[in-house]
Structure formats: structure tokens, C-alpha cells
Structure 1
């Protein structure tokens, strides 16, 4: 809905006389911007359903950018050293157990290889812009420019509205529209619209003053610093950050074409990660090992295949609404099955669509531990991949929790030690050769969309499996309580694509969350886990919760 409104808003452009276009007698138009200025800006990420506000002050050697209505500030100034490579001050609010919205300040000293230089948010003017018509934007007479180019497998359509300002004796941009298409895959990569307004030529130098803050050395890596504050379309910046990313995650690409594809995907995610993190939303994203993956590749890291009519559990949920309500009053404020010895170590499905096996084995491991005094056994995911085809599963091409449960009820599930290590591939079924298997009596569907019912089930029977929609933002999650829009992470039943495990619940700064075990390895999220808001059915997490009976 927001995208539709934004597109409608920016389709209303009144054509009116503005500055004369260049003709054969005119000199070439110099679209360079002023070196020193203050202005406000608004950026609309139409493909990401996001609006971000900025204020920027810039001189030849200093810059300050305020994000999110001033909640976050990035100030870059030269140091007193003769060989100054600049200093960045990052000022942001943080809420602790002792103070709400305490303003913190971290400083990062630039180096010869990674200097901290003044930021410029105005559009790149090195493109071959052609003046196409006079126009009026927001009541301001302007000249409309257009440029088109292909680079690194992407096709750019750039439209710029600018005016010549006599106070600056320079052109200044008023609006900028950037559409980027992926030439190899044929889809719209991103569509951003910028507005620039409230220009000022003169301002006090004290806007760069940080003396009122108690600034400490930043503990962040250069990669984390790079993605947060520099312009996501500057080529030297992108190259530097991408090189650091490849080194950090040991990325090696087969050829130049693949390298270009990965770089374009990575650049798109830089914009998303930086914008979200500046909004102070209560959670953080990162450029993790998924930041260069295509949507098609990410499907291999999920794998939930939903049947047209999902089979219900064979054991009814024993708590009606009244019982849930009475039991919820005595539930603990926080619960963590990991502390009860009911959760095995974080595993990694890698690029096999086997999430459904990792979620179901984790739940059965917990149920067995409940029955044998907390003794954990690690059960075999590979057995489900190899053997459950006749129950509606398809190995690494996906499956469902109910298919897994039905097969386990008939055949039992062997340990990982006896069946063999996870292979990340389909294999021959060896269930007939196993000496010991763990069976279940069945599985129970918990009342959907009921937070209290899920808590009651979790404390008394958990861990529990549940389905989610693993979106792009979900895959880049790094910490905090994840809460994102329906547009980014739909919760509708037909959009659920990933199976995870709820192992507990808690509260952070008044925001309740589920503790979710994922199957993407210990380097993803919070050591392999996620905190996802326990409200509004974020990403569909409260739609299909289930536990097992052994």
C-alpha cells in the first residue's frame, strides 16, 4: 500500500517553464554541486517499502549527517595530525536497564587505507546527463535531466531535476529518481527516489562540535563502519566494502560475470542494512554470509513445502481457551528450554532445503530429554532427507513437519551417530540397518495466533516447531527483537517457507519476544538464534505451532 501511495504521489508533476534548456548556442551545463552546503533530504526505497529522512551539513573537510529525525548522527572531521585521515563520531541513543535513550558516542579514526572523508549525499554527477525538458517540482522551476547506462550486469535509468541557484552560484538537485534493473535476471533490482530541500549556504561551525559527548573508541570492524554511513552508490566505497566482505567470509567466485552479479546483490543489501540500522528499530541487520545470495539461492536455505490441505495433528490440543487463560496467569515471565537441557547444539542445513528436518528433530530431541531426565541425543536429519519421500517430502527439495512426523511415527528416528553425519545432499535410505530408533506417538497442533497458548505449550511440552516466512531482512538478521512490516515479511499461510523452533520467550525493553532456533549455523543471528517479537504474528510465526508426544 505504501509503495502504491508513493508512486501516485510522485506521478503528479506539473510541467511549467523553468531554466532554459541547452541549445546549440549555449555552453555545456556543468552539473557539479556546491562543495559547502546544508540541506534536508528524504529518500524513498520503493522496492523496500521504506522512507528515510536526512539532514546534512558539509564543508570541504567536514560533514555531519543526521538520520531518523536526528536520533542518529554521523560527524566526520579532520584530526590534528599532519597526516590526518579523519575521525568519525557516531552518536546514537541506547536504552539500558538504568536509562532510556541514553546518548552514546563512538569514534573511529581513519587510516591511510580506509580514510574517514566528508560524506556527500547528493547524486553522482559523473553520468552523461542530457537535459530533456523544463519542469516544475514542488513549485520550483527546474531542468529535468536523464541518463541511462549499463554496468556490471545492471541497467540504470537515472532522472534528475535540478535548478541553478544564484546564492550558491551552482546547480543544486531538487529530486533524483534511480531505477536499476538486473540485466542477467531481468527484474527490478531497486527503485529509489530522493528529494532535497531547505538549502542553506551559511551555517555555524559548531554543528560539528562533539565536545558535549563522552566518546569512546569504536569496537566495530571497518566493514561495519563502512556500511553505516557512506554513500551506497560511490564506486570506491562499494569496492572497498565488497573486498572486505569477501575476505571476511572467504568468498571466491568462479568468473568475472559472477563477481559482478554478487557485487550488485551486495550493493543492494548495503542500502537495506544501513537504512534499517539507522532507524533504531530495536533490531540490527548485518552483511552476513547471505548478503551476496540471489532469491533463488536463498530458497535452498529454507525448504518448507506446504500441502494444499495441511494434515492436522493426530493428538488434539488439550487446553481450551478458558484453560489457557487460567494457566497463563501462572506462567513464568521468561522461559528458556536451553537452560532446561532440552536443546541440542545449533546445526546448519547449508544449501539443502531441509529446514523441515532440523525443526522436527530438534523438537523430538527436546521431548525425549523431558522423558529421560534431561539426557540429550542428537537425531539424524539425513535419515529424514533420505527416507521420507513416500510421506510427501522430497529430500533437499523440501518437505514439511507433518510429513516428517508421520514417517517417524511409522519408522522411528535414528541418532546422528549411528545413521551417519549430515551430507547436505540426498542419499540412500539406511533405516532398515539401524539398531535403535526413537518413535513418537504423534504431534499436536497448538491453537494458532494465540500467544498464551503457545507459551503454555512451550513450558509444558516444548520446544515447538513453527513455520515462518524467511524474507531478505530475516536472512540478514544480526540481533535485537526482530519486528518488520507485513510487506517485508508476510504472515499469510501461503507465504510460509521456512521451519524453525521456538525454544523460549523473554522480554527486552518492554518488548516480548520468542527465542527461535534456526538451522543456518552458529554464525547467523545471535549464535544461531533469533529473537522475534511476540506480537502481531511477525512473519507468520504464530500460525502453525506444533509439539510432539513421545
Structure 2
């Protein structure tokens, strides 16, 4: 926290000692340049900004200038204004170059300049408060209804020479009155605020944004409706446009206006997460997925993994001594993909049934069976596990553990999907005794945990593997790249999937993971996740099936 307080100590200001500041309305100059740091205490992330604004142009740089947003309002050349999004990309020679994206305004889409500074309506003068910078004045605005209470605080200094206010700090707290919780807490620190700067900051030609090098987008482009390029989560028109596109794509029909507003608020929150994450250029992207309007409680129905009983382990030991694993791994290929070998069935969708524990384990069983079946891949019925594994610790759509599925497979075996029936997204009556052909397993093996080489050895010789993960909000919005989430844990595992291969990029090993959220999620239903630091617990409890 101290770092962010120190950022503003050097802020220039002119103290007002000769006028009564109570009579000076809080308002910002029309032209300014400043730098800022926004710290979301509730979400645990930090973002830096550099901002330039005049009455006709605005520019915001994110992530130390890596991503730039420049807007020019209506003029002789662009009747409804124009917006540029400029970000670095790597060319074939692996050199970073700026990619210039442009969207022209229209009668229905007139671009508003990005202000960044908080609106000052309804703020009341409190008085001097120099806890941040000497001679700072404090203003407060409060708003509340039956469910929420919002307290906004602005600290500012007054420039008597130019008769305007300069922001120092802005804090917003949103309370859930029903639950008594602080749901949102953000602090913005502003520094180096001034009203004079070189207007060449708005010259897009320095980033090769001429007519030949730009990529033009429209409001209907996927870059806009899915990846939110040019969209501002704080702009109601932008939120409504993307939300309407989302509702049409995923056929959302809400019960009433109250539910619609609740879903829209969740959607806006996820828009913020998407834009903030993508601007950081972390090597992966988030986007608007089918889960962008779901509550945390609803998302649990799209997972379903339960913790194994304490002391429960596989009945067949991992056959590779730990001291020999590294030597064995040295002879393995740098990339390996079981999909190419035909050991992986198509991506399926568990929908809103907490049955992930049946999908990950069934994928492991399908691959193991193909290995001893001349490479013949059969689609086995995870619905049978869902219906029948109750005596072994499964609870149908309410969730289960990998060992519950495995123990049931050892006793009864898996039938094919063709004979037992397709997945129904619901608990059903167990029909295993009427199956003509079943494939019982001999057991299952726990792979040496927290060991990248051990997972590679297991994947090549025994995969696919069933793996567990802490699936976070970011995970649900994943759309591509090598995922590495600093907000997840390695122990709070809530989702089961299948590891079907691995690869390398820039010396970093990543795992290829088959999910059970349908082919429209992620990369055609798959996740690429970094092996570094056991991210999200992917190497905490890997297993495979033995026939």
C-alpha cells in the first residue's frame, strides 16, 4: 500500500489561501495530462494509466504505454469521430511492432472522449484533509438504495493561478447492505497533473496508423462484441451494445426487468475484467463467453469437483521412481498431442450439471482403452457414472470426486455412449445391468504430483490424464493463449478436466487441456495453461486409468 501513497507525494499544486474554497465548484479543466494508478483492493489488481485530453481529442495509455486508445471527435474528415486502438504484436522476426486498429463513428455510434477522471456531480465539500498531500480538500458523495450503498471520496488541490481543481486521489466503496459486505473498493492516485502538453500526443501517424496499415472494425466485429476492442465498460451505450449482442448469440431471455438489470451488472463487471486483463498483454486473452452473465453460484453448476476423502489414493502405484523421472523425460519430445494419435474423443458439454468429475475420468478411460484396443477410440458413457456412482461417493449433478468415478468403473466398467445413451445434463436411473458390453478398469494411478517431468512421462505413456484445477472467473472467460492466472490457488480445486498433451513456447512448457464446456469455449473447447508454479493446481492430483 505504501507504494501507492508515495506516488503522489511529488504532485505539483498551488494552495489556495486567499479564497474560500467552499464557494469554488468542484470541476476539472477541459485540457489536461496526468498519470494514474488504479488499485482495486477488492479484486486484488493494479493498473497504470497515462492520460491526455483536450476538448476534441483524448488518449489513454495502459500498461506503461503498451496499449493506446486515441479518440478524435467529429471533424471535417470524420463526421462522427474516429477511435484508434494501438497495441504491440510480434512479427515473423519476433520483433514487436505496433498494430493499429480503427473504428469510424457513425450516426448510431458517436464516440465520446475518454475522461478517466471521476464525474464531480453531487459531491459535497467536507474540508481540508492533508493525509495525502498538503493543502488537499476532501469531497464526498453518497448514494444508497435498499440493497447497496456507495461512498465516493475525492481529494483535490486548487490551482488559484488558473482557477481550477487538480485531482489527487479518488476512492469508491460499494457496500452490500443486505449482506453487510464491502463488495468493491478502489483507489485512484493521480500525479503529474498539468494543463499544458505537446498536442503531438494525438498524432496517430507515429504508430503507422495511415490508411494502408490500419485494420478497420465495425460494431458487429467479433473483436468488438467478444474481445471488447473500442468498448468502455463504464460507457452505458457500449455495455448495452455488447450485452445485446451477447443475449442474441446465447439466446438469453430473462424473467423480468429486475433479473435483466442484475445480469447486466454482472456482465459489466466481467467486461471490466476482460478489458483490464487483455490490456496487460499477459500472453492469453479473455473474452465474452457463454458465462459472462452467470453468478458464482450458477458457475458451480458448471464445475462439480468434490474433494477426495482423506487418504484416498490410486490402487496402482506410479511405476516410475522419482529419481529416474528426469532422465526418462529427457528422451521425450518437446511437444506431444494425444488428439493427433486418435486417443481423444470430441469435446462435450456438461451444461449446468455439476458433472465435470465424470468427464475428466471418462476421457482418461477412453484413451487408456484405445491404447490396448489397437488404437480404436470408443466414446464411453459418462452418463452411466452420473446415474450409478452414488454408492461410491458420487452425487450426480451435485458433484463428485475422481475416485468415486474410478471405484465405480472398477466394479462395473463403462458402457459405450451408443448403448447406454447420450449425456442428458441430468441425473437418471442407473441402467448398467442391462448393458451387453462394458469395459471395467483394473484400477487407477496417482501421478507424482507437482512434477512437470512426471506429467509429461505419464501423458506420453498412459494419457490422457484426469486433472483438477481451480477454475476462477478469469478461467470462465478464457478465449486463447497460454493461461497463467495469479488469482487462482493450487489447493481449492473445483473442476475436473483431461490433460491430452503438452507443448513449449518461449521455453515455457504448457499443458493442453480438454474441458467439458463445449467447443465454443476457449480454443475450440480446449485450454492451454502454463506449467509454471503448478498454476491453478493443474499438477496437484493428476491420475490415469489402467485396464
Please, what TM-score do these two structures have when normalized by structure 1? 0.91
Deviates more, 1:67-76 or 1:451-460: 67-76
Match of 1:529 among 523, 526, 529: 526
The alpha-carbon deviation at position 509 of structure 1 amounts to 3.2
> Could you say what secondary structure the match of 1:531 adopts?
strand
Change in 2 beyond 3 A, CA 1:70/1:167: farther
Q: Write the mapping of 1:393-412 to structure 2, written as runs, cut at 5 A.
A: 393-412=394-413
Deviating more after overlay: 264-273 vs 234-243: 234-243
State the partner residue of 2:294: 293
C-alpha change, 1:166 and 1:251, in structure 2 (3 Å) is: farther
Q: Which ranges of structure 2 fall in alignment gaps of 5 or more residues?
A: none
Match of 2:383? 382
The reply to whether residue 199 of structure 1 matches residue 198 of structure 2 is no
Report the aligned-residue RMSD: 2.6
Q: In the TM superposition, what is the alpha-carbon distance from 1:530 to its structure 2 partner?
A: 0.6
| 1:431-473 CA distance string (max 9 Å, x none) | 1111111111110100000000000000011010111111111
Alpha-carbon distance in structure 1 between the residues aligned to 2:146 and 2:367:
49
CA shift for structure 1 position 308? 3.8
- Residue matched to 2:35: 40
Q: Which residue number corresponds to residue 144 of structure 1?
A: 138
Q: Are the counterparts in 1 of residues 63 and 280 from structure 2 also a CA contact under 8 Å? A: yes
Distance 2:542 2:488 in 1: 18
1:60-71, aligned counterparts within 5 Å? 60-71=55-66
Compared CA separation, residues 450 and 154, structure 1 to 2 (3 A) = same
- Aligned partner of 1:109 in structure 2 is 104
Are 2:72 and 1:77 equivalent residues in the alignment?
yes
Counterpart position of 1:162: 156
- Structure 1 CA distance for aligned equivalents of residues 180 and 412 of structure 2: 46
Return closer, same or farther for 1:475/1:274 CA change in 2, 3 Å cut-off: same
Map of 1:2-17 to 2, 5 A cutoff?
A: none
Residue 214 of structure 2 is matched in structure 1 by: 216
Please say if 1:517 is aligned against 2:514.
Answer: yes
Residue 523 to residue 6, structure 1, CA distance change in 2 (3 Å): farther
Equivalence for 2:535:
538
* Structure 2 partner of 1:99: 94
Question: Matches of 1:218 and 1:152 in 2, distance apart?
Answer: 45
Deviation of 1:194 (Å): 0.6
Q: SS of 1:98's equivalent? A: coil
Question: What is aligned with 1:243?
Answer: 244
SS in structure 1 of the partner of residue 349 of structure 2: coil
Aligned twin of 1:448: 449
Counterpart CA distance in 1 for 2:400 and 2:132 is 53
Note the C-alpha offset of 1:506.
Answer: 0.8
SS of aligned partner of 1:443: strand
CA separation of 1:155 and 1:263: change in aligned 2, threshold 3 A: farther
Native 8 Å contact 2:16 2:160 kept in 1: no
Equivalent of residue 117 in structure 2, options 119, 122, 129: 122
Structure 1 residues 156 and 357, CA, compared in 2 at 3 Å: closer, same or farther?
Answer: same
Find the aligned partners of 2:22 and 2:457 in 1 and give their Cα distance.
Answer: 77
Does structure 2 conserve the Cα–Cα contact (< 8 Å) formed by 1:18 and 1:135?
Answer: no
May I ask how many residue pairs the two structures share in their alignment? Answer: 535
Give the conservation status (yes or no) of the 8 Å contact 1:152–1:264: no
- After TM superposition, the structure 1 stretch with the greater mean CA deviation from structure 2, 420-429 or 135-144, is 135-144
Output aligned runs, 1:18-33, within 5 Å.
27=23, 29-33=24-28
Partner Cα separation in structure 2 for residue 500 and residue 138 of structure 1: 49
Q: Deviations over 1:194-248 (max 9, x none)?
A: 1111112122221111213333224553634884555533434433333333233
Aligned 1:304-315 pairs, distance under 5 A: 304-315=305-316
Q: 2:498 aligns with which of 493, 496, 501?
A: 501
Structure 2 distance, partners of 1:7, 1:36, is 25
Q: Distance in 1 between matches of 2:142 and 2:113?
A: 28
1:489 correspondence with 2:484: no
**Residues 240-297 of structure 1: per-residue CA shift (max 9 Å, x gap):** 3333332333222111221222122222222221111111111111121212111111
SS in 2 for 1:149: strand
Who is 1:465 aligned against?
466
Instruction: Render the CA deviation track for 1:496-519: whole Å, top value 9, x for unaligned.
Output: 111111111112233221011111
- Find the aligned partners of 1:511 and 1:115 in 2 and give their Cα distance: 44
Between the aligned partners of 1:117 and 1:438, the Cα distance in structure 2 is 63
Q: Is the Cα–Cα contact under 8 Å of residues 175 and 181 in structure 2 kept in the other structure?
A: yes
Partner-residue secondary structure (3-state), 1:117: coil
Q: Which secondary structure does the structure 2 equivalent of 1:211 belong to?
A: helix
Distance 1:119 1:151 in 2: 29
- Asked if structure 2 preserves the Cα contact closer than 8 Å seen for 1:85 and 1:117, the reply is no
Deviation track 1:154-200 (CA, whole Å, cap 9, x = no partner) reads 43221111222235432232111111234566543321111111112
In the TM superposition, residue 395 of structure 1 has moved relative to its aligned partner by 0.4
Partner Cα distance (2:276, 2:82) in 1: 22
Q: Secondary structure at the match of 1:212?
A: helix
User: For 2:200 and 2:113, how far apart are their aligned partners in 1?
Assistant: 16
What residue number does 2:423 align with? 422
Distance 1:531 1:270, change over 3 A: same
Q: Against the structure 1 CA distance between its residues 222 and 458, is the aligned structure 2 distance closer, same or farther, given a 3 Å change threshold?
A: closer
Alpha-carbon distance, 1:304 to partner = 0.6
Contact kept? 1:303, 1:497, Cα under 8 Å:
yes
SS in 2 for 1:362: helix
